């Protein structure tokens, strides 16, 4: 306060002095000097009076002025301390950032040195040795192979679908020398729809990088089981074939669509890979562009805009639904004439009574009604006779009438068949007698290979169902604990659990032991005799069916096989083997595979998208059919099955853009 008063007095007198001086600039020099002296004297006298007044005030109010002076002094000290503290914090923060930068640079340099040492040019054999049945080059080393991988077991995975990727994701790093061979370097998570292609693909190299696996863009043409060699051909057939050796082999090459020997199948489109989806989308767009030309006749326009789907399974139904979405949503985006919408015709030809016949009957009925409202033509109980360049010929089962249907695009989606590799394997092994897929046991081992070195999963394989009748005597003797020639309810219950552990596929048929026991105890004696047990096993054998060729089965098989391969590698390293149990088959010297649990499939339900609606069949009569809620259930399942954060983010973005587009329209 004192300082402010003094400062105010000085400024006031200075202002008066400057004002007076400036107003007397025209005076004579002698007068100006006199005036200047008088002004200074007045200024000094004023300062003196102000000083005396302040001094008197201090003496009059000593306590208040001392408190004020201490307050201003402490404030000044606090400001000075705060400034110093801020300055010190800035210095420390700057030093920390500089130090952290040097640490990062140091470790980055060290990592680069280690990586350079690991990736330094190695002197691989310039000429590989030749061998095998065809005397081809044997690739004993790969381009990016490390020295630490030389002594590991060689695990080769053929294929890059859901089964193969599930195996890769479950394998532990540095357990095997892993090589993935596939002509398709991308994993398609879906094959058709309104989503962008980039949202559906994930490079296999990125997936394999997690376990330091090697990827070869090539196709396997033949397998030499005795020599454990795989004949590999580059994807573009640009060079001669060569051999890749293996210790463990996983066959997950998928399947082809079954054509049933139909004439003219070459005019059809298939839906197995992302390239198939691209070709279909291009054909649809080309047909719309041709139909929009003014010189196109009405008959030709109707033919171009007629789309036929052969097969009423999940793939064919979802394709028809996505095509309907394109017609109702994307037609506006591409600015096609609205008159074309009335010319579009979508037809489904199904050989059975209903579409989605593997689902619950209520779901089939719901889907048919939904398609009927969307003007999608469903032709049931019909078989395709032949396919011509512009029309398809089919025959109705009811009356044998032959009809024709013009088309601009026809999609073939009926059944599965072997590809050339699996067909050659089936012809080579006597134990392979299935004409549609490779047969495996319940541990996914390929039948006909005695050393448990080859596995088959996914659409290319089928798990052999057990023949309980053939093991009737063995089961009856094992179950008869008291050796009285019959099975009590308790003995049968114990036997049913043991059979379920050895053959998981039988669990669903044996889970209600009390009901089964009462049904087949024909003489109501409270026990089961041998013939009564035989009748039960015969009925169970008739009811058991093969697992469906779906992504869900392939995914579960891949996870099971990946975990089992980890256990096998650990057992080889530690020489600790699991003890025999109910899982083991009755052989004298079971290997590690025989001691581990068999594959058990858990059906989580089947989903299908039917155009702004979806259906779900969870089994045992549990179904879900509806619009928005079912669609979000379907989308959540697809979202959860994506293999990377990138595809999940892009998928969510595409669905969000589609949602806002629908709102805007």
Strands, sheet with 391-396, edge to edge from the N-terminal-most edge strand? 382-387, 391-396, 402-406
pLDDT tens sequence across 402-415: 999 999 999 998 88
pLDDT tens sequence across 532-545: 999 999 999 998 88
pLDDT tens sequence across 99-154: 888 787 877 766 666 555 555 544 545 578 899 999 999 998 888 788 778 789 99
- Residue 583 contacts residue 499 (beta carbons within 8 Å): no
**Which residues are 263's β-sheet partners?**
386
User: What pLDDT score does 68 carry?
Assistant: 46
Between these two residues, 396 and 145, which has the higher pLDDT value? Answer: 396
* Measured CA distances, 24 to 10, 13, 16, 33, 42 (Å): 21, 17, 12, 11, 17
Pairing verdict, β 376-379 and 345-349: parallel
Burial (0-12, 13-18, 19+ Cβ within 10 Å), 95: exposed
Q: End-to-end distance of the chain based on CA atoms, in angstroms?
A: 72
pLDDT tens sequence across 592-604: 888 888 999 988 8
User: What pLDDT score does 245 carry?
Assistant: 96
- Residue 204 contacts residue 216 (beta carbons within 8 Å): no
- The three-state secondary structure class of 252 is coil
CATH number attached to the domain at 128-255+418-465+545-599: 3.50.50.100
Local structure of residue 330 (DSSP, 8 states) = I
- Residue 521 contacts residue 489 (beta carbons within 8 Å): no
Pairing verdict, β 218-224 and 229-234: antiparallel
Local structure of residue 451 (DSSP, 8 states) = T
User: What pLDDT score does 380 carry?
Assistant: 93
Give dist(CA 390, CA 371) in Å, integer: 24
Residue 460 has pLDDT above 90, yes or no: yes
User: SS3 sequence, 99-167?
Assistant: HHHHHHHHHHHHHHHHHHHHCCCCCCCCCCCEECCCCEEECCCCCCCCHHHCCCCEEEEECCCHHHHHH
Q: Binning pLDDT at 50, 70 and 90, where does residue 338 land?
A: confident
Between these two residues, 9 and 316, which has the higher pLDDT value? Answer: 316
Give dist(CA 484, CA 526) in Å, integer: 13
Domains in the chain: boundaries: 128-255+418-465+545-599, 265-417+603-664
Residue 326 has pLDDT above 60, yes or no: yes
Mean predicted confidence (pLDDT) in 2-15:
48
Q: Which fold has domain 265-417+603-664?
A: FAD/NAD(P)-binding domain (3.50.50)
User: What pLDDT score does 192 carry?
Assistant: 45
pTM of the full structure: 0.77
Closest to 380 in 3D by CA, of 390, 394, 370, 392? 394
Query: What integer best gives the mean pLDDT of the chain?
Result: 81
Q: How many Å is the Cα radius of gyration of the chain?
A: 42
Give dist(CA 10, CA 2) in Å, integer: 12
pLDDT tens sequence across 69-107: 444 445 555 666 677 677 777 788 888 888 888 787 877
- Whether the CA torsion 563, 566, 567, 568 is positive or negative: it is positive
Q: Which residues are within 8 A (CB) of 244 and not within 5 positions of it... i.e. 6 or more apart?
A: 139, 156, 179, 181, 216, 229, 230, 232
Mean predicted confidence (pLDDT) in 556-566:
96
Mean predicted confidence (pLDDT) in 380-387:
94
- The three-state secondary structure class of 593 is helix
Mean predicted confidence (pLDDT) in 590-617:
84
Mean predicted confidence (pLDDT) in 337-349:
87
- Residue 656 contacts residue 662 (beta carbons within 8 Å): no
């Amino acid at each position: 306060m004192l300082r402010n008063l003094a400062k105010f007095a000085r400024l006031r007198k200075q202002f008066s002095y400057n004002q007076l001086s400036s107003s007397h600039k025209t005076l004579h020099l002698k007068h100006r000097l006199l005036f200047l002296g008088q002004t200074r004297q007045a200024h000094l006298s004023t300062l003196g009076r102000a000083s005396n007044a302040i001094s008197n005030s201090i003496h009059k109010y000593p306590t208040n002025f001392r408190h004020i002076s201490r307050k201003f002094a402490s404030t000044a000290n606090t400001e000075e301390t705060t400034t110093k503290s801020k300055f010190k914090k800035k210095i420390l923060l700057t030093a920390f950032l500089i130090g952290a930068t040097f640490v990062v640079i140091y470790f980055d340099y060290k990592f680069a040195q280690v990586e350079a040492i690991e990736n330094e040019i190695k002197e691989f054999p310039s000429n590989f040795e030749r061998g095998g049945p065809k005397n081809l080059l044997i690739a004993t080393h790969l381009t990016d192979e490390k020295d630490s991988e030389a002594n590991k077991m060689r695990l080769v995975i053929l294929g890059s679908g859901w089964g193969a990727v599930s195996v890769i994701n479950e394998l532990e790093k540095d357990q095997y020398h892993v090589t993935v061979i596939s002509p398709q370097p991308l994993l398609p998570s879906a094959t058709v729809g309104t989503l962008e292609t980039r949202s559906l693909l994930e490079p296999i190299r990125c997936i394999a990088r997690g376990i330091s696996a090697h990827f070869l863009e090539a196709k396997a043409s033949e397998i030499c089981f005795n020599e454990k060699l795989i004949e590999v051909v580059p994807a573009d057939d640009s060079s001669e074939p060569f051999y890749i050796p293996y210790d463990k082999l996983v066959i997950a090459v998928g399947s082809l669509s079954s054509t049933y020997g139909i004439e003219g199948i070459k005019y059809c489109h298939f839906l197995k890979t992302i390239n198939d989806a691209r070709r279909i989308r291009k054909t649809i767009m080309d047909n719309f562009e041709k139909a929009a030309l003014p010189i196109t006749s009405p008959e030709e326009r109707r033919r171009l805009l007629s789309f036929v789907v052969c097969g009423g399974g999940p793939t064919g139904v979802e394709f028809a639904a996505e095509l309907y979405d394109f017609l109702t949503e994307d037609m506006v985006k591409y600015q096609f004439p609205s008159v074309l919408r009335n010319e579009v015709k979508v037809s489904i030809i199904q050989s059975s009574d209903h579409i989605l016949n593997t689902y619950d009957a209520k779901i089939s009925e719901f889907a048919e009604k939904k398609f009927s409202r969307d003007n999608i033509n469903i032709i049931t109980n019909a078989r395709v006779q032949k396919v011509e360049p512009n029309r398809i010929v089919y025959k109705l089962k009811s009356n044998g009438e032959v009809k024709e249907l013009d088309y601009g695009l026809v999609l073939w989606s009926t059944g599965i068949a072997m590809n050339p590799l699996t067909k050659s394997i089936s012809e080579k092994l006597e134990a392979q007698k299935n004409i549609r897929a490779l047969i495996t046991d319940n541990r996914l081992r390929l039948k006909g290979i005695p050393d448990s070195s080859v596995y088959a999963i996914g659409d290319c394989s089928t798990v052999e169902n057990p023949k309980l009748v053939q093991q009737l005597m063995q089961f009856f003797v094992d179950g008869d604990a008291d050796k009285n020639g019959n099975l009590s309810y308790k003995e049968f219950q114990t036997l049913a659990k043991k059979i379920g552990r050895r053959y998981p596929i039988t669990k669903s048929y044996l889970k209600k032991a009390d009901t089964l026991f009462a049904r087949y105890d024909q003489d109501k004696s409270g026990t089961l005799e041998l013939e009564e047990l035989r009748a039960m096993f015969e009925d169970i054998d008739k009811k058991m069916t093969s697992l469906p060729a779906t992504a869900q089965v392939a995914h579960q098989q891949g996870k099971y096989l990946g975990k089992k391969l980890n256990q096998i590698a650990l057992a080889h390293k530690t020489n600790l083997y699991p003890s025999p149990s109910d899982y083991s088959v009755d052989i004298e010297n079971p290997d590690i595979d025989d001691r581990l649990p068999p594959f058990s499939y858990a059906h989580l339900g089947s989903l299908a998208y039917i155009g702004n609606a979806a259906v779900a069949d969870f089994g045992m009569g549990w179904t879900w059919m509806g619009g928005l809620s079912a669609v979000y259930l379907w989308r959540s399942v697809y979202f959860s099955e994506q293999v990377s954060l990138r595809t999940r983010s892009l998928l969510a973005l595409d669905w969000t853009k589609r949602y806002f587009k629908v709102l805007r329209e």
